[in-house]
Amino acid sequence: MTPNKLQPALLGGLFIGVLSALPVVNFANCCCLWVIGGGVLAAYLMQQNHPVAIQIADGALVGLLAGLFGGVLWAVLSIPLERMTSEFARDFIERLLESNQGLPIETREWIDNITGGPVAVAFRFFTSVAIGVIFGMLGGVLGAAMFKKNVPPSPPGTIDVPPSAH
């Protein structure tokens, strides 16, 4: 009997996506903290809903799915949040460019394209999903190892029967 992975993955992905997209809270994601945490959360939730210990591969898969869902949600949520804060960011970048008059025109155009155009949105989407999948899977493996249920040994002289066989 394999444990249900969809609900824990969705909840872990929600954790990843929301915390990674929030403007100030996302600074803690510098070391992929929220992504790894979402993978750990997904593995924890899967273990809590399963009577026997989950396998490391199950933790990796649920973490990968949480990272996938979280990466997509992260990219989607960051677009409107960035639009709300883009005026401040645009002013900051313009002041930075004005203070560096020696920058070539190509570099200035590249910075303009990467800070708000469709290239930036596509780059953010693929980067968010890639980071989510890789580090979410790592978090799922960690969560499966940390929250693995210890099954007590059976008394001597009895036959071990898995709980799912009853």
**Is residue 77 within 8 Å of 21, Cβ to Cβ?**
yes
Residue at 159 is within a domain: no
Tens of pLDDT along the chain (166 residues)? Answer: 677 899 999 999 999 999 988 877 877 777 889 999 999 999 999 999 888 889 999 999 999 999 999 999 998 998 887 777 767 766 777 777 777 777 777 876 776 666 666 777 788 889 999 999 999 999 999 999 999 887 666 667 667 666 665 5
Residue at 156 is within a domain: no
Q: Show the domain range for 142.
A: 6-149
Residue at 141 is within a domain: yes
Residue type, 6: L
Separation CA 20–CA 27 (nearest Å): 8
Count of domains forming the chain: 1
DSSP string, 92-152: HHHHHHHH-TTS-HHHHHHHHHHHHSHHHHHHHHHHHHHHHHHHHHHHHHHHHHHSPPPPP
**Is residue 32 within 8 Å of 131, Cβ to Cβ?**
yes
pLDDT of residue 73: 94
Residue at 163 is within a domain: no
Residue at 155 is within a domain: no
Residue at 161 is within a domain: no
Residue at 66 is within a domain: yes
Closest alpha carbon to 93 in 109, 74, 75, 78 = 109
Separation CA 104–CA 99 (nearest Å): 13
Residue at 166 is within a domain: no
